[in-house]
Amino acid sequence: MEFFRNSNIDFLGKKWYFLAFSLIFSVAGLFSLFFWHGLPLGVDFRGGTLVYVKFTQRPDENHVRSLLAKAGLTQAKLQRIGQPEMNELLISLDIQETSEQALDAGKNTIIQALEGTSPDPNKKDLNNASSQSVFDALLTADPVRAGTDANQRYQAIAQQIVDLRDKEHGGVFSSFDQLKVLDPNVVQVLQSSFYLSNFGVRNVEIVGPQVGKQLQIQAYKAIGLSLLGMLVYLWFRFELIYGVAAVVAVFHDTLITVGAFSMLNKEISLTVIAAILTLTGYSMNDTIVVFDRIRENVKLMRRESLAQIVNISINQTLSRTILTSGLTFLTVLSLFLFGGEVLHGFSFALVIGILIGTYSSIFIAAPMLVAYQGWRANKKGLAAQAVSLPAARSKEKARAR
């Protein structure tokens, strides 16, 4: 299947327009990184507490924010997750303290702030109670007259209640009527010992500042080493200028993607780093396809200028580029639209990266080869000719022997 047959688009003739496009977005990203939003690192890297909360009804974010502010958590960030009918919020808290105990204290402060004033100080919140709390209440009241097997029976019943809450009702009971599957005497004890708040904490994640710093350093190393490895590979397979052009193109992709996160103030998490590493590989693959065709055409079209060879090579690979990039883009776009909040950052980075990576393999990497060859020819006082391919020539010499 081909979208373009015998296309003859003068890509290099429009290189200044595309370089201006890249320059605008790169400068905008750098401006945002240094003077506006900065690098919006997620809790994974800066350390902090993430509390996943499910409400019985659609939460009023302003009300939740005011409750947190009253508890002194003015820096807490709220983010709606999942579908709107799921009534779930993700609350993230920046942590200034350094001890794990302080992190736990921050988590408990969030829970206490949301609970507000208890309707009965003598009762506990069943939606945020542990199985141990339920077990203690049942063992004290002994509603089923368990006798000598009391510990074993009430532990099983307590776990059944927690499982009923977390697995069948999404982590929160909206009414005691949802407990009617249990023994009526057990339900009566629960009603007398607990009350139901309008929320339940489904999960809590804590990342210590030291761990976050280590993850940040490892992420920088991963990106740096991947670029270095690609440079060495392309240097070995083609020659140094090919590797430099490809790495500059990938760096350009990464800069624009990170700049987009900064401009939109979207947090960069571990999954976003994974997406950036994925897109660097994808962009490099596209670039290598174009470079391979240029190398083949250099041997076949020795009388043509390098600019003409590059134009012809890009046109010859255009259908393949549109097909593979288009289908990949549709896949990541579906992930972005329907993947949910958890995958939002990951899929957003891929959506931006696929577009920019395809663009850079055509409009950034290839023109760099022509610019380099022009500079080298001017330096020697010669007309621009095709880029030499020492690796290819070495193979030809070896076959001749």
**DSSP class of 37:** S
Q: What is the mean pLDDT of residues 28-43?
A: 86
Judged against a pLDDT cut of 70, whether residue 233 lies above it is answered with: yes
Portion of the chain with pLDDT greater than 90, in percent = 10
Is residue 270 packed enough to be buried (19+ CB in 10 Å), middle (13-18) or exposed (0-12)?
middle
Q: What is the mean pLDDT of residues 231-254?
A: 84
Distance CA 216, CA 44 (A): 8
pLDDT at 1: 58
Judged against a pLDDT cut of 80, whether residue 204 lies above it is answered with: no
Q: Token pair of 144, please?
A: 């089923």
- The separation between the first and the last C-alpha atoms of the chain, rounded to the nearest angstrom, is 41
Judged against a pLDDT cut of 60, whether residue 304 lies above it is answered with: yes
Q: Model confidence over 67-82: pLDDT tens digits? A: 888 877 777 878 787 7
In sequence order, the 6+-apart residues with CB closer than 8 A to the CB of 219 are 45, 270, 273
Q: Are 61 and 89 spatial neighbours (Cβ–Cβ below 8 Å)? A: yes
Distances (CA, A) of 190 to 111, 199, 333, 375: 21, 17, 47, 82
Q: Token pair of 105, please?
A: 């204290």
Q: What is the mean pLDDT of residues 204-221?
A: 76
Judged against a pLDDT cut of 60, whether residue 382 lies above it is answered with: no
pLDDT at 333: 92
Judged against a pLDDT cut of 50, whether residue 390 lies above it is answered with: no
Judged against a pLDDT cut of 80, whether residue 197 lies above it is answered with: yes
Give the closest residue to 285 by CA, choosing from 246, 330, 323: 246
* Mean pLDDT across the chain: 82
Give the closest residue to 95 by CA, choosing from 86, 104, 87: 104
Q: What is the mean pLDDT of residues 384-399?
A: 46
pLDDT at 27: 92
Distance CA 230, CA 216 (A): 22
Q: Are 112 and 53 spatial neighbours (Cβ–Cβ below 8 Å)? A: no
